[in-house]
Amino acid sequence: MVSALVMGGSAGAFEIMRSLLGGLPASTPFPILLVLHQLPGARSYLREIFATDCALTIAEGLDKELLLPGTVYVAPPDYHMYVEDDGTLALSEDPPEHHCRPSIDLLFESAARVHGREVVGVLLSGANGDGARGLQAIHLAGGRTIVQDPTSAQAPQMPGAALALFQPDAVLSPARLGEFMAKLAQEGMS
């Protein structure tokens, strides 16, 4: 059973996220939480852009918001986004991690703590090491871990950093990632 899917990326990850979300049905039985590195202070248009070709509900994460299936929660610019023990979101302005706020590591680590073996973590293209430590935390908690194949990444540093730490459950191209996520959503509906 999957109770949440968390996904993170930076340089080169936007179009992949858009494609992956566009391939999922509205009836996806778990929430999806996203961190995509953005410039601090900039207005985010991710919610509007992802909503144009996605059947899922797309929302910018709000503090104390209850996580619902079939909904994608996008971390707002310049806020860390966490999963709380009671199944709600938390936002914070704590100092940046890896020079980034929001931090993929912090989201992934909180999801590992709360959801354990029922979380799936997906780490995509990016130009720094954010997300590697958090994905390892998901792995150690018994959750499933997927890394974009660095040879298919515009910026291979992020998936490469994860592969330097541990062996994830799968290393997939964007096309194979889409197949994996569609299968995951389908399995959860049966």
Q: In the annotation, is 10 catalytic?
A: yes
**Residue 107 and residue 133 in contact, taking contact as beta carbons nearer than 8 Å:** no
**Chain-centre distance of CA 65, in angstroms?**
17
Residues 74-112 as b or e (16 or more Cβ within 10 Å = b): bbbbbbbbbbbeeeebbbeeeeebbebbbbbbbbbbbbb
Identify the active-site residue in 3, 37, 105, 152: 37
Q: In the annotation, is 130 catalytic?
A: yes
Identify the active-site residue in 10, 103, 110, 125: 10
Identify the active-site residue in 3, 98, 130, 152: 130
**Cβ contacts of 15 within 8 Å, gap of 6 or more:** none
Residue 87: phi and psi, rounded to 5, are 85, 15
Q: In the annotation, is 169 catalytic?
A: no
- Using only the alpha carbons of the chain, give its radius of gyration: 15
User: What CA–CA distances, in Å, run from 72 to 13, 67, 68, 81, 106?
Assistant: 16, 9, 9, 13, 18
* Catalytic (active-site) positions: 10, 37, 130
